Structures are given as structure tokens and as C-alpha cells.
């Protein structure tokens, strides 16, 4: 069993890009249950797209967080959407109007919230099953990245780089 972290983060970014531009309404929402690694893992696709791959994005439009950690201790687990905006993970509109931080133990609240949402017939929608479209999502992002290939290659050439470093073999 092995995990390719770079490929895994790329896959998350691909799903987010695909959901926003190909199968969705052009808006993205995120529900964060807790904090720490799962929170960062889910959010890091947006900075990868915009800041590293040069694929324009605006961050999540709706940000709902359930976390027991206090906001004032500086922990990243509890940082609100405003902090996520500084990294390009959440849009400014989400910070202003589409962000909710619920200071609670998610295990105590989420079952009730899930029941409330799933028991309302007006809330029922056909699942998008995005993970089933992972290959399509990767291809969709690959095309967007290919448009920026020249700019991406420039970022791999810098003073002090290993002489045998071949940027052409790094960029898809």
C-alpha cells in the first residue's frame, strides 16, 4: 500500500475544478466536520489550482464548519473561513455571507443535522457521484493545466537547480 501525496492532492483539486465548471452550478460548498488533516486535505485543492497550477479559481462559495476547538487559541483546526480566504481556500463572498462556524462537538450534532436534511423531501437531489468521474475530472484539469504549461515550466527553472533537472519531465 502506497500513497502518492502529490497525485492525491491533484485528484482533489481535479474533482473541485470539475464540480465547479463541468457538472455543477458554478458554485462550490464545503461542510467541514472537525478540523486538522481532513479539513486541510479538503481545502488545499483550491490553492493548488490558483497559486501553483495557475488555473483560476475563487475558493469555496459556502463554508460550514463544525469544530469543538476554540477559535482564539491559534490552532488551524478551528480557524474560520476568514483565515481560509487568506490562503485562497474560501471566496470573499463566503466569508461575508456564506460562512458558518458552529462551535460544537460534531459527533453530538451531525446525526441530528443529517436526519433533518434527509427527512425533508424538498432537499432530496440526485447524487452527483463525483468520485465515479475522477478520470474525467483529471482529464478536465489536465487540459486546463496544459494551457499554462509554459508558465509552469518557468517556475521549475531557477538559480541553483540541479544541472540534470529536467522540468519537461515534471509537468504533465
**Which of 124, 125, 96, 94 shows the shortest CA–CA distance to 31?**
94
Question: Band of the pLDDT at 132, cuts 50, 70, 90?
Answer: very high
Question: Band of the pLDDT at 51, cuts 50, 70, 90?
Answer: confident
Instruction: Give CA–CA dist 76/84, Å, rounded.
Output: 10
Residue 104: CB atoms within 10 Å = 12
Cβ neighbourhood burial of 118 (10 Å; 0-12, 13-18, 19+): exposed
CATH class of the 1-121 domain in this structure:
alpha beta
pLDDT tens digit string along 68-118? 877 776 666 777 766 666 666 777 777 677 777 888 898 999 899 899 888
Measured CA to CA in angstroms, residue 149 lies from 43, 78, 79 at distances of 24, 36, 34
**pTM tops 0.85, yes or no:** no
**Which of 143, 142, 172, 136 shows the shortest CA–CA distance to 19?**
136
Amino acid at each position: 500500500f502506497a500513497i502518492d501525496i502529490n497525485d492525491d492532492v491533484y485528484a482533489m483539486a481535479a474533482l473541485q475544478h470539475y464540480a465547479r465548471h463541468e457538472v455543477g452550478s458554478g458554485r462550490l460548498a464545503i461542510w467541514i466536520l472537525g478540523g486538522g488533516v481532513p479539513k486541510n486535505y479538503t481545502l488545499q485543492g483550491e490553492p493548488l489550482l490558483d497559486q501553483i497550477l495557475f488555473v483560476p479559481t475563487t475558493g469555496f462559495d459556502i463554508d460550514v464548519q463544525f469544530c469543538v476547538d476554540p477559535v482564539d487559541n491559534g490552532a488551524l483546526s478551528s480557524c474560520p473561513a476568514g483565515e481560509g480566504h487568506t490562503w485562497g481556500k474560501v471566496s470573499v463572498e463566503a466569508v461575508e455571507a456564506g460562512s458558518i462556524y458552529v462551535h460544537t462537538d460534531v459527533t453530538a450534532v451531525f446525526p441530528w443535522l443529517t436526519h433533518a436534511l434527509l427527512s425533508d423531501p424538498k432537499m432530496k437531489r440526485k447524487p452527483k457521484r463525483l468520485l465515479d468521474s475522477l478520470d474525467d475530472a483529471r482529464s478536465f484539469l489536465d487540459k486546463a493545466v496544459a494551457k499554462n504549461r509554459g508558465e509552469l515550466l518557468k517556475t521549475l527553472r531557477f538559480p541553483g537547480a540541479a544541472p540534470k533537472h529536467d522540468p519537461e519531465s515534471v509537468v504533465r
